[in-house]
């Protein structure tokens, strides 16, 4: 019957049924995210918005100790955000949360082969281990710490290490639009979310043309823009 989208109609293919079930599920806020858009939880909100999932949120104030309450430590004993609760599943660690969301709800953002999984894991781990801490070090010692506490030597060391790490990403992106290939995937979201700290810290990426082009494209996506607007 035209215009009647009922799960019970026999004319639906199994694929259509799954899609409709997903749409119905998307209307139910089973997902709860802890953390504010202004910290690493930005990554989680960006992913949830990309996927069009319904969610509820508790924008815990880390400065006010809201991540150290007994109640929250029962959910995440590390006392960190982001933390995601999806029904009976609790996931923490920002990269892992997004890989989980991609696997469960990801559609076009999801990986489909073991090789794609390897790419997503490799670059997500790379962003956290090779880039994130160094960008933090650079930002702290160039602008976030009070001037008297900044150590220019630490900033220089971080800058040098970042130059070589970012060169690796730039080379990878020289001949492909995205890390996932020709379309934006969870790997791009995870890595771009970490790399967005270059903008926050004023780290100059203009020497890395491919990286710069890719990062701009990722951060201009409507979902990223929407969460950024909420953060400002
Ligand atoms: N590796 C973790 C880091 C989590 C983290 O350190 N989160 C900070 C906010 S960006 C936090 O929760 N700070 C408050 C606290 O440690 O009490 C991740 O990527 O999720």
CA distance linking residue 184 with residue 28, whole number of Å: 26
Residues 225, 120 share a domain: yes
How many domains would you assign to the chain?
Answer: 2
What is the tens place of the pLDDT at every residue in 116-143? 999 999 999 999 999 999 999 999 999 9
CA distance linking residue 230 with residue 39, whole number of Å: 12
Establish whether residue 36 lines the binding site of ligand 1, counting it when its CB lies within 6 angstroms of any ligand atom.
no
Place of tokens 């609760």: 85
Residues 73, 180 share a domain: no
Residues 210, 158 share a domain: yes
CA distance linking residue 91 with residue 76, whole number of Å: 8
Ligand 1 pocket test: pick from 41, 81, 97, 195 the residue with the most ligand atoms within 8 Å of its Cβ: 81
Residues 135, 52 share a domain: no
| Residue where a domain terminates, one of 108, 126, 149 | 108
Q: Are the CB atoms for 143 and 136 separated by under 8 Å?
A: no
Place of tokens 């150290």: 68
Establish whether residue 81 lines the binding site of ligand 1, counting it when its CB lies within 6 angstroms of any ligand atom.
yes
Q: How far is CA 209 from the centre of its chain?
A: 22
CA distance linking residue 41 with residue 39, whole number of Å: 5
pLDDT (0 to 100) of residue 69: 98
By residue range, what is the domain housing residue 122?
Answer: 111-231
What is the tens place of the pLDDT at every residue in 190-216? 999 999 999 999 999 999 999 999 999
Residues 104, 79 share a domain: yes
Q: Decide if pLDDT at 15 tops 50.
A: no
pLDDT (0 to 100) of residue 18: 32
Q: What angle is formed at CA 48 by the lines to CA 43 and CA 52, rounded to 5 degrees? A: 150
What is the tens place of the pLDDT at every residue in 139-194? 999 999 999 999 999 999 999 999 999 999 999 999 999 999 999 999 999 999 99
Span from the CA of 80 to the centroid of ligand 1 (angstroms): 4
Query: Residue 44 in 3-state DSSP?
Result: helix
**Non-local CB neighbours of 63 within 8 Å, separated by 6+ positions:** none
Ligand 1 pocket test: pick from 40, 65, 92 the residue with the most ligand atoms within 8 Å of its Cβ: 40
Ligand 1 atom with the smallest distance to the CA of 80 is 12
Task: Residue 193: name the closest of 102, 124, 96 by CA.
Answer: 124
């Amino acid at each position: 019957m035209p215009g009647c989208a009922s799960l019970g109609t026999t004319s639906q293919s199994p694929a259509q049924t799954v899609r409709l079930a997903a749409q119905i599920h998307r209307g139910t806020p089973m997902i709860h995210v802890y953390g504010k858009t202004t910290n690493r939880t930005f990554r989680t909100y960006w992913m949830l918005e990309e996927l069009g999932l319904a969610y509820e949120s508790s924008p815990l104030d880390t400065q006010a100790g809201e991540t150290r309450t007994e109640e929250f430590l029962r959910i995440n004993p590390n006392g960190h955000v982001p933390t995601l609760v999806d029904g009976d599943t609790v996931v923490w660690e920002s990269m892992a949360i997004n890989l989980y969301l991609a696997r469960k709800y990801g559609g076009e953002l999801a990986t489909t082969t073991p090789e794609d999984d390897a790419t997503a894991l490799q670059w997500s781990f790379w962003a956290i281990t090779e880039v994130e801490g160094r960008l933090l070090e650079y930002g702290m010692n160039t602008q976030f710490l009070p001037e008297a506490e900044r150590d220019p030597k630490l900033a220089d060391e971080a800058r040098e290490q970042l130059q070589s790490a970012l060169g690796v990403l730039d080379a990878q992106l020289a001949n492909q639009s995205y890390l996932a290939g020709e379309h934006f995937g969870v790997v791009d979201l995870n890595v771009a979310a970490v790399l967005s700290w270059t903008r926050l810290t004023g780290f100059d990426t203009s020497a890395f043309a491919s990286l710069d082009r890719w990062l701009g494209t990722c951060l201009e996506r409507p979902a990223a823009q929407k969460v950024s607007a909420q953060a400002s």
